[in-house]
A and B are shown apart, each in its own frame.
Chain A
Amino acid sequence: GESVGLHLPTLSVQEGDNSIINCAYSNSASDYFIWYKQESGKGPQFIIDIRSNMDKRQGQRVTVLLNKTVKHLSLQIAATQPGDSAVYFCAENIWAAGNKLTFGGGTRVLVKP
């Protein structure tokens, strides 16, 4: 479900290290998941997606892992760069429930040089 709060969890990572951002989702009927990156003052940017019939999907420097047993989603960023500093949101979709995205609360990633 939707998470609202004034303080975003923050992940500080050294430039060049790998980042892992976690997301717990609530609905076992969710069939599609997306990770978005949002820089300050901009709209969310699509990073990678995964369907519920998969448990792993790789893109350029990013990997999404899905564990349906515990309803957990993660985004791994390899060799994190300063340009990766942003807020990352996971979103879940349920086709049967109107095919709408429900967003998680977000995680802020700060890359230290």
Chain B
Amino acid sequence: GAVVSQHPSWVICKSGTSVKIECRSLDFQATTMFWYRQFPKQSLMLMATSNEGSKATYEQGVEKDKFLINHASLTLSTLTVTSAHPEDSSFYLCSARDFTGGRQETQYFGPGTRLLVL
């Protein structure tokens, strides 16, 4: 149980284009999902909290107009990197909380999406 998927697993795009990453909870409903970014040999940095049916909450320093988050259903959240630039190249991770399994704070992570902007 508590499986989270991400798509695509990797993407290469040209500078200036937009990229959409999907995060799905496969066997549970997730009212809250989280988006993280991880640079090589570094820890995970929380970008935003995605709430089903409402606006995302962004961490300080994260541009909400550049990283668009949509949480349209209880099993799907999307992150769109708009007008991507090489400095946006990173490993993007999503996680979700399973409120049905008991421990409400536990976050389960997807496999990640590696983005390379040329």
Contact = CB atoms under 8 A, between A and B. Distances in A.
Interface in B35-67: 41-46, 49, 57
A93 B105 contact: yes
A44 B93 CA distance: 9
A107 to B, nearest CB: 11
Interface residues of B, number: 24
Interface residues of A, number: 30
Interface stretch (A2-10, A11-19, A59-67, A70-78): A2-10
The listed residue with most A CB atoms (<10 A of its CB), out of B4, B46, B114, is: B46
Interface string A70-100: 0000000000000000000101010100111
By DSSP majority rule, is chain B's interface helix, strand, loop, or mixed? Answer: strand
A104 B44 CA distance: 8
14 contacts: A3-B43, A34-B106, A42-B111, A43-B4, A43-B110, A44-B93, A46-B106, A49-B103, A49-B105, A49-B106, A91-B107, A99-B105, A100-B49, A105-B43
Interface of B: 2, 4, 6, 34, 41-46, 49, 57, 93, 95, 103, 105-112, 114
